[in-house]
Amino acid sequence: MSDTATIPATTGPTRVPVDPATVPGWGVDADPGNNPTYPMRHIEDQTRGFTWDRPTQQQPEVEILRSIEYNALPAVVGTSTPPSGVSGMIRRFAFKRSESDWWHWLLLMGADRINVVEGVVADLAQGHVPNIPAEMGIRAEWRHNRSGLFAKAGIVAAVSLGALLLVRRGRRHDAAPTIGNGETIRPGARETRLSDHLHASALGPVATAGGPTIDLDSDGSRP
């Protein structure tokens, strides 16, 4: 018996090699004379272009948030809007997390939304009324995406109405109950006294068993 294993013949259609140059979008680097990676594959042949002096490092005078994966700063950084306020606190907390953590990005997006409100408040504090519809691009939405504008307006209206109904419902539940004559039932009222109030407001005179009818005063007590 031979120690060499026999590989069974494969069945099915024979695969014909495909020339990448004949497929649109394929074989972009098939021609050595038109190699898009040049000159990265030929660094040893280059005498210039890959060696350069790093620009002088900018010395920022404001707080710059840095990734925990890459703490080095580029030569030039933006300093126009340093973190501040509530949005700044959220951004600082976000940069304590890895960029691979989805909480990092969700917190940054939430901080951006809060920063919009902070900007409006800052404008009003300085006596400037911002043109919020123009800044939100309402005119462009009306011209080019009218259906989307209506959808957004409907969503905002529905959410606002739902919030209003929830607030009103909570206020109704928090209100103290009243009895028939409009008097508020105070916490700790005795059950017997409440019963007397209900009888006095709904039935008027109260008849005792086997005895004469007894009238109750407006406060539910006997005269």
Distances (CA, A) of 16 to 13, 19, 69, 177: 9, 10, 46, 85
The residue count of the chain comes to: 223
Please classify residue 220 by burial: count the beta carbons closer than 10 Å to its beta carbon, then call 0-12 exposed, 13-18 middle and 19+ buried.
buried
pLDDT of residue 170: 79
Tokens 């710059």, residue located:
64
pLDDT of residue 207: 47
Spatial distance between the Cα atoms of 85 and 63, rounded to a whole number of angstroms = 13
| Same domain, yes or no: 143 and 122 | no
pLDDT of residue 196: 60
Other C-beta atoms lying within 10 Å of the C-beta of residue 33: 5
Contact 37, 63 (CB under 8 A): no
pLDDT of residue 43: 58
- Please name the residue ranges forming H helices in the chain: 85-94, 102-125, 132-135, 138-144, 146-174, 191-202
Distance from CA of residue 95 to its chain's centroid? 17
Q: Is residue 105 part of a domain?
A: yes
| Same domain, yes or no: 125 and 64 | yes
Distance separating the N- and C-terminal Cα atoms of the chain = 122
pLDDT of residue 107: 96
pLDDT of residue 70: 82
Distances (CA, A) of 199 to 85, 122, 187: 59, 60, 20
Spatial distance between the Cα atoms of 96 and 79, rounded to a whole number of angstroms = 20
Enclosing domain of residue 103: 58-129
Domain total of the chain: 2
Show the low-confidence residues of the chain (pLDDT under 50): 1-2, 5, 7, 206-213, 216
Q: Is residue 178 part of a domain?
A: no
| Same domain, yes or no: 109 and 82 | yes
Q: Is residue 216 part of a domain?
A: no
Spatial distance between the Cα atoms of 183 and 221, rounded to a whole number of angstroms = 15
Question: Among 85, 175, 78, which residue's Cα sits nearest to residue 121?
Answer: 85
3-state helix, strand, coil in the chain (%, to 5): 45, 5, 55
| Maximum separation of any 2 CA atoms in the chain, in Å | 122
Question: pLDDT by residue (tens digit) across 129-187?
Answer: 888 888 888 889 999 999 999 999 999 999 999 999 999 887 776 665 555 555 555 55
| Same domain, yes or no: 160 and 122 | no
Backbone region of residue 78 per phi and psi (left: phi > 0; alpha: psi in -120 to 50; beta: other values)? beta
Q: Is residue 32 part of a domain?
A: no
| Same domain, yes or no: 124 and 64 | yes
pLDDT of residue 208: 47
pLDDT of residue 97: 92
Contact 216, 200 (CB under 8 A): yes
